[in-house]
Amino acid sequence: MSIIEKTRATLFPFRGPGVGRNYATVSGRLRRSTLVLLRWMAIAGQTAAILLVAYGLGYDVPLLECFAVIGLSALVNLIVTFTLPLDRRVSDLEALAQLGFDLVQLAVLLWLTGGMNNPFALLFMAPVVTSATTLSRSVLALLGFLAASLSLYMVGNFQPLPWSEPDFELPFMFRMGAWSALIVGMFFTSLYAWRSARESRRMSEALRATEAVLAHEQKLSALGGMAAAAAHELGTPLATIRLTAKEMKREAKAGTHMAEDIDLLLSQTERCREILNQLGKRGDAGDLYHDNLSLEVLLTEACEPYIGIKSGISIDIDMAGEGEPPTVQRRAELMYALRNLIENAVSFATSKVVLSADWSDKDISLQITDDGPGFDAAVRDRLGEPYVTARAEKKRAGGLGLGLFISKTLLERTGAKVRFANRSDGGAIVSMVWPIGAILGMST
């Protein structure tokens, strides 16, 4: 399992394939305090509207019945406030019950005050749009159906408004038109809210996965630095042991058990020296020498884990530019992004992957090309967005669509501009361009 898949499984455990969802117990994204606050706002608005119509405009409104309905809503709010913790996220079932109650309460209030003739009938949209941004599609569908049914019933069944002219009534077709406008507005507003919230959640999840990947890479880099530091610190006592062993060998008689033990000790100290030298050459020590390296060395190090990983695939590095290759700064996000893109190219290549680097006094560019099937034309313009993954004629099994997004995001953090395209003769191209003065820390 790759680091991206591990991150996905850790951050979003309820989104794996085959995992059922219990809408009565799984917490959603809507807090109970939000529902209570919205209901108090509705109660205040309804009360103000009734008082304004009754005393400000002088209409004969059934105050007792209206305030009884509003009082029932206030009673529900008080019960929820004093019996349930407000700082918890509610399940989809509870949210459906509370928002469904709000729709029924609004319907009864509108029935008392003119039904669909009442301009405030558009408030039917509020609970539905709220569910579109925070709840599941099934809850959204149920609330939308409930709102449509209640409003349709009130097209022909309602208590008449106290018009100033006696026996005045709006035509049935006008009321049907108002209902149709309400349904259309509810549908498009909910669809827009649902799509916006969905994209926002997907981007948030992808960014969290990106941060987790970067933290993992930085932890590995820190471990490498600790290994290099340990190698440096252990070098001195090991040299002392080796020197002492040589002195003992001079004094020991040849052919004795003591001489054989000293030879063994010397051979093991030599082996320890080789191991410590390898640890010290990891390049993660965090000093000036290891933190800055030529562009060619950086690309060679990025390619190293994938050389020979797939039989018949060669990885070539093509360096072309003005003067000597520039010196670049080692960064965890840069190394991870390059390795992820190289791995992707190797997995889809037929025979060859080429890393082409070019530089001038203005910018540094890098292209990773392969001779595979290329990017699917249907999603090429959306590559780099979270959860978009496809190649023409071939798709990676179990892909999450986060790899390209994470790589692109990390590269952009270093100051790069990233572009995805297909070669004219087949294969994919990933192009990266850094300004010379970008945060990457490049110098020629």
pTM over 0.75: no
273 closest CA partner among 236, 227, 245, 229 = 236
Compute φ and ψ for 383, nearest 5 degrees: -60, 140
What local confidence, expressed as pLDDT, does residue 106 receive? 93
Q: Which amino acid is at 40?
A: W
pLDDT tens profile 118-142: 888 889 999 998 888 888 889 989 9
Cα 314 to Cα 196: distance, rounded to the nearest angstrom: 43
Rounded to 10°, the helix 172-251/125-134 angle is: 20
Q: Which amino acid is at 181?
A: A
Compute φ and ψ for 364, nearest 5 degrees: -130, 130
Distances (CA, A) of 428 to 13, 256, 311: 33, 67, 20
User: What does the domain layout of the chain look like in residue ranges?
Assistant: 24-202, 221-287, 290-435
Cα 230 to Cα 244: distance, rounded to the nearest angstrom: 22
Cα 26 to Cα 14: distance, rounded to the nearest angstrom: 9
Answer for the pair 439, 414: CB distance below 8 angstroms, yes or no: yes
**What letter does residue 362 receive in the DSSP assignment?**
S
> Which residues of 159-311 form beta strands (DSSP E)?
292-294
What local confidence, expressed as pLDDT, does residue 223 receive? 54
Cα 397 to Cα 107: distance, rounded to the nearest angstrom: 50
Residue 193: both structure tokens together: 């809210």
> Of 29 and 328, which is predicted with more confidence?
328
140 closest CA partner among 193, 101, 88 = 193
Answer for the pair 330, 293: CB distance below 8 angstroms, yes or no: yes
User: How open is the CA angle 325-331-335, to the nearest 5 degrees?
Assistant: 80
> Of 364 and 388, which is predicted with more confidence?
364
**What letter does residue 437 receive in the DSSP assignment?**
T
Answer for the pair 375, 390: CB distance below 8 angstroms, yes or no: yes
Q: Could you tell me which residues are beta bridge partners of residue 316?
A: 354
Cα 414 to Cα 338: distance, rounded to the nearest angstrom: 12
Distance of CA 180 to the CA centre of its chain: 38
Sorting pLDDT into bands at 50, 70 and 90, what band is 42?
very high
User: How open is the CA angle 68-71-75, to the nearest 5 degrees?
Assistant: 135
Q: Find tokens 């799984």 and name the residue.
A: 26
Q: Which of 126-135, 287-296, 332-341 has the lowest mean pLDDT?
A: 287-296
Q: Find tokens 């749009």 and name the residue.
A: 129
Calculate the dihedral angle through the C-alpha atoms of 415, 417, 423, 426, rounding to the nearest 10 degrees: 60
Task: State the number of CA atoms in the 13 A half-sphere of 410 facing the CB.
Answer: 28
CA atoms 254, 257, 263, 265: torsion sign = negative
In CATH, the architecture of 290-435 is 2-Layer Sandwich (3.30)
352 closest CA partner among 325, 375, 372, 323 = 372
Segment 160-165 long-range contacts (CB within 8 Å, at least 24 positions apart): 160/114, 160/117, 161/59, 161/113, 161/114, 161/117, 161/118, 162/59, 162/60, 162/61
Cα 40 to Cα 131: distance, rounded to the nearest angstrom: 18
Residue 26 φ/ψ region, left for φ over 0, alpha for ψ in the -120 to 50 degree band, beta for the rest: beta
Answer for the pair 335, 341: CB distance below 8 angstroms, yes or no: no
What local confidence, expressed as pLDDT, does residue 218 receive? 60
Average pLDDT score over the chain: 78
Residue 402: both structure tokens together: 């986060």
> Of 420 and 220, which is predicted with more confidence?
420
Sorting pLDDT into bands at 50, 70 and 90, what band is 400?
very low
> Of 155 and 332, which is predicted with more confidence?
155
Q: Which of 13-22, 224-233, 248-257 has the lowest mean pLDDT?
A: 13-22
Mean pLDDT of 1-27: 45
Mean pLDDT of 308-323: 84
Q: Which stretches within 252-352 are classed as H helix?
A: 257-280, 288-291, 295-303, 332-348
Compute φ and ψ for 275, nearest 5 degrees: -65, -45
What local confidence, expressed as pLDDT, does residue 14 receive? 39
